[in-house]
Structures are given as structure tokens and as C-alpha cells.
Structure 1
Amino acid sequence: MDAKEPFSGQVIADDRLKLGEGPSFEVETGTLWWFDILGCTLYDYHLKDRRLSKHTLPFHGTVIARVDDARQMIASDQGLFIRQRADGQITPFVALESDQPGNRSNDGRVHPSGALWIGTMGRKAETGAGAIYHVAGTKVTKLFSAISIPNAICFSPDGSVGYFTDSKDNRMMRVDVDPRTGLPIGAPSVLVDGRNRDGVFDGSVVDMDGTIWNARWGGGSVDRYKADGTLLARYDVPAQQVTCPAFVGENHDRLIVTSAWEGMSTEARHADPLAGATFELGVAVRGKPEPSFKF
């Protein structure tokens, strides 16, 4: 199924981000949060009044999650931090690979148990330099080693299955997970081999039906898969380097996707003028809310 459904959506944030990533919608405040990782900037967009705000960060943030009404957790190249909503104050929470300054965080997501899965990678995407970790409160457990570009971290609605990829390897993996803890209880297996198509697996989310929505970096699409790996549909995005989707809206029935222009030549950016914008896809979805991170 190589044909794409035509793009019927819209640009919701026109800033062209070098590496737009990590979108997460918070239904409690009606706010979409995401990053320009390489621009050290956190964005928030209030859906109701379409108000966009930007917050400069002292690090390369990649993942944000709700903690409670007062606090958020941010994963970054300097570890995990707590952000105070009231004034934006940021304080260290948990160290992550502090002995490997050549690495940074990348993709991650909170499991329904409240634990975080967070991936790391080399700043130049060195082969095998990173890993994927499980963070429960302040306890950090390494799950998978020798990861080059961790992406597509997401979970089935009941928390019994985890998904991830190493984008350099370009195969989506599936692993059984303990729903109570978010820890794997088996060995990963290949769900989808993406090496026979344009682009690579990037960020993913799972909807209420258990289907996986994946951003295809270099493929200019968001692809939807059944839980058994069957490709259901491909949706065109008017930017080639799409990075990560998120469910948004009061009923989580809309889908947005971030994008990037990192690594593009001047000529390539001219040919891809919306690279780095943030889009609403324009399709109806049965999304689910993101869990809060638990201390």
C-alpha cells in the first residue's frame, strides 16, 4: 500500500523548526506542547484560542509529560528535569548518562503505569551509542542497549505491549510489557520491517483501537498500522521529514504531526518550503490521553 491519502489538513504553527519533535497534548489545559530540540525551545499552543507561546530552555529538551497541575517533567540532553508551570523554573530531577556527554535524549513516552521510557543517542547519531531506559520515580533501568536513534516509543492502550525502533535499523519492534510497571517481560521481536520503503520510522502514538500511527521521516507521511503490523493507510504530509504525531482535542479526535529541516541543503529546503512546520492531519481519530509521569 504505497499510495497516500491526500493531505486535507492545515498548518497549525508556521515556525520552521530545525528539529520539531516530542509533541504531547494535555487535555487538562487544552494545550499542545512540543520542542525544537536543536533550537533549545519549548512551544505551547492553546487549541481553543490558537495562541502560540515559546520558552527558551537551557538544554536540548526532547520529551515533556504532565506531572500534576503545578509541574511537568522534561527529558533532555542533561537528564530529567522538573518544570514549574507558574514561572517556568527548571530543577534537576534524575541524571541520565551523565558519564556520556556525547549523548542526548531523544524519543520517549510515559507508560500507562506512570513510568517513562526514554531513549538516548549520540549527538551525531553514532551507531550503537544510545540506549532505551525505564524511569520509575528516580529509579533508572536500562532496557535495550546499542541503540543508534531511538524512536517510535509507544504503548498499547492497556499497557501490555510496547513498541520502539532504532531508526538507523528501520524496523519497528514489539515487546510484551507488564501493565503494572511498564517493564518488559519478554524479548523484542520485529513487528514491521521498514527497510523496503522510502524513509524511516520516527515517532509513533497508539490509538484506542490499538493501531499505531507512525511519522515516516523522509517519506512525507504518517502511516497507520494494525497491532499485527499490517499497513492500513498512509496519509500525505506536505513536508518530507515528519517526526512525531500526537492526538489533540477535548476528545483526542484530531491528529497533529511535527516536522524538521535538519540536514537539508538550501536547495532541499527551497523544494520543501513547509519543512519544520507543525500540521494537523485532517483525519478523524480515536486517540487517547497521555498518562502523567509519577514520582
Structure 2
Amino acid sequence: MTTEIKVSTWQAELAVDCRCTLGEGPQWDANHQRLYWCDILEKQLHWLAPATGESGHHQLDHMVSLAAPLDGGGLLLVGEDRLSRFDPVNAAVERFCDFETDNPVTRSNDARIDRHGSLWLSTMGKKAEKGAGSLYRLHRGKLTLLLSGLTIPNAICFSEDGEFAWFTDTATGVVMRWTLDSEGWPQGEPQSWADFSTTLGNPDGAVVDSEGCIWLALWGAGQVARLNQDGHVIGLIELPVSQPSCPAFAGADLEMLYITTAQEGFSDEQLAQEPSAGSLYVVETGVKGLAELPLRLV
């Protein structure tokens, strides 16, 4: 962090006391005004209707890390070894395609829809095995490998003009920026953009706001940092729990920032100190989110 830049601060408040083991993948469904997020390890898909406060969850038969709104309705579940269509009205699941089915070590992790309505998704080892993870792009129904040899791929997000993608390998502590072509495909090698390797907390999930800044969860630090276009921290959200995993903007005007958290790996003593760990938090920062496109499969 730099001392030359004024850093704004906010306090996050409890939104849904769901206490997920590994809360992840918050995603706003604008058409149905619902926020979805996952408890990866408990195989659950959670939801919240911010306008009414109503919430609930669906129990699934496999680990899922994101539910992406589809162009035309329904959701696409990013699962541990498959992508599936999901109808939240009747909880019907229809398998769309498989990936890494020959590798029982891995599961899906971070994912986000890009500025072309395509989906970037990652895999990692179920025990965070070094180098077991990969980064993919699902473009018009075809899944393409972008990068392999990663340990915990995270922080997938995109600039509004589609010029850049960001991601991190959490184990390295470094957020990378990748130049994209006019169709959203990476060009050249990703470049180091923001280094958290010597600070408290590891970079996890991230989202871009309407002003072009990135909100980055810092796992272990109990914070979400706001970074400007140069990768400098200009804001910090403080949470009462230590393991925030990913932020996402939601609400009718994308004015609320929701943050998933986790209690994965906690001892009984840690759970006693952080009883609401794994729950969904929210903060109104005065900055609006950047609307994301629904996922296009054709």
C-alpha cells in the first residue's frame, strides 16, 4: 500500500447469516433481481432478493462455485467437473458439458462473465495442490483452455471496454493483468499489476466498478481493497470476519456491494471468535457497480 494516496474506509454489515463453510461466487441476476452465491464445500446454491430480504438455498449433488445468468433465462452452474443448466423455479438440473472429468484432484473455483457475454472459469486442486489449476474461457458454448499450472486461480474480472482481464494465483499474492483482443481473447503474456505478497491477506475474488476500479477480497485479512487503474489501494472495507472470498455489486441500481466469506479451516476457537464467518456481508460505498452481461451459449 502507498501512504501518498488517501484511503477511504467502510464497515461491512451482515446481510444473510448463512455461515457457509466456503462461501464463493456472488453473482447478480438482474432479470430476476436476485443475488446468487455458493457454498462450494456444502454443495449449496444460496440466493437473496435484496428488495424484500427474502433468502434461501438449493441443495445440489455436486460442488458448484458460480451460477451465471443465461441469456434467455435460467442459470449455468459452474460445477466441480461439469457445466449444467439450472432452472431455479423447479430446481431442475441439465448437464451441459464436462471438463477435467479425468482429473479427480480438481474442482471449479472462481468464474465471471466477460464483456462479450462469455464465461471465464478456473479450476484448482481440492486440497490446493500446487500447479493443479487452470483457467478456461467458455465462448459461444465452446470451452477453451487459456492457462494451466496455477494453484488457486481467483480475481477474474474485466475492464468495461473489454481491453483487459485481471486474475490472480492466490498462492503468489500477485494480481495479473492480461491484454485482450476485440473478441475478448488474451494476447501475449499476463503482466504483474498489483503485488500483495508482502502484505496481510491473500488476493481472492474481485469485481470492477462503474469507475473502472477493482474491489479485491483479501483472504485472511478481513478486508476488501479498492484499487485504482494503477493498482494502488484507494479504499478498504473492513469485515468482522477474516476470510472474505469475493465481492459483487447487486440491487436495482447496483449500489450495494455484497461480499461472500468462509469459515473453511477454522478451529473451534476461531469459530467462537468469528461466529458469523461464512455469512454474506454488504456495504454501501457510494460507488455503483458495472452491469454484467448475461452468459451467451450461442
TM-score (norm 1): 0.96
Residue 31 of structure 2 corresponds to which residue in structure 1? 28
Runs of 4+ in structure 1 over 3 Å off: 1-9
**Which of 264, 267, 274 is the aligned partner of 1:265?**
267
**In 1: Cα distance, 2:34 partner to 2:78 partner:** 19
| Residue identity (%) | 35
* One of 282, 285, 293 as aligned partner of 1:283: 285
Q: Please, which of 96, 112, 117 is the counterpart of residue 114 of structure 1?
A: 117
**Secondary structure in structure 1 of the residue aligned to 2:270:** helix
Any residues of structure 2 matched to 1:67-216 within 5 Å, and which? 67-180=70-183, 182-216=184-218
For 1:210 and 1:31, locate their aligned partners in 2 and report how far apart those are by CA, in whole Å.
24
Q: Which runs of 5+ in 1 are unaligned?
A: none
Per mean C-alpha deviation after superposition, the further-off stretch among 81-90 and 254-263 is 81-90
Query: Is the CA contact (8 Å cut-off) linking 2:10 and 2:236 kept in structure 1?
Result: no
Q: 1:17 to 1:5 in 2, by over 3 A?
A: farther
What secondary structure sits across from 1:239 in the alignment? coil
Deviation of 1:90 after TM superposition, in Å, equals: 0.7
User: What secondary structure sits across from 2:269 in the alignment?
Assistant: helix
Unaligned runs of 5+ in 2: none
Moved more, 270-279 or 252-261: 270-279
CA contact (8 A) 2:38 2:45 kept: yes
Q: Structure 1 CA distance, aligned partners of 2:278 and 2:96? A: 30
Q: Which residue of 1 aligns with 2:55?
A: 52
Q: Deviations over 1:9-42 (max 9, x none)?
A: 4211001110000001112211110011101000
Checking the alignment, whether the CA contact within 8 Å between 1:153 and 1:164 is kept in structure 2 is yes
Q: List per-residue Cα deviations over 1:253-284 (Å, max 9, x = no partner).
A: 11110100000111111112221111112322
User: Greater shift after overlay, 70-79 or 119-128?
Assistant: 70-79
Letter in 2 for 1:72: L
- Residue number in structure 2 paired with 1:230: 232
Offset from partner CA, 1:101-136 (integer Å, 9 cap, x none):
211000011111111110000100000001001111
- Check the 8 A contact 1:8/1:282 in 2, yes or no: no
For 2:284, the aligned partner's letter is G
1:293 aligns with 2:295: yes
Deviation at 1:7, TM superposition (A): 4.6
Question: Given the superposition, is the C-alpha separation of residues 62 and 45 from structure 1 closer, same or farther in structure 2, using an over 3 Å criterion?
Answer: same
> How many angstroms apart in 1 are the aligned matches of 2:215 and 2:198?
18
Quickly say closer, same or farther: Cα 1:192–1:102, change in 2 above 3 A.
same
Conserved in 1, the CA contact under 8 Å of 2:74 and 2:88? yes
- Please state if 1:249 is matched with 2:236: no
Measure how far apart 1:251 and its partner are. 1.0
Question: Which stretch shifts more, 118-127 or 82-91?
Answer: 82-91
Deviation at 1:55, TM superposition (A): 0.3
- Counterpart-to-counterpart distance in 1, 2:226 and 2:158: 15
Note the alpha carbon deviations across 1:60-115, whole angstroms, 9 max, x for none. 01011111353211101021111123311111112111111211000011111111
Deviation for aligned residue 1:198: 0.7
Q: 2:12 & 2:2 partners in 1: Cα distance?
A: 20
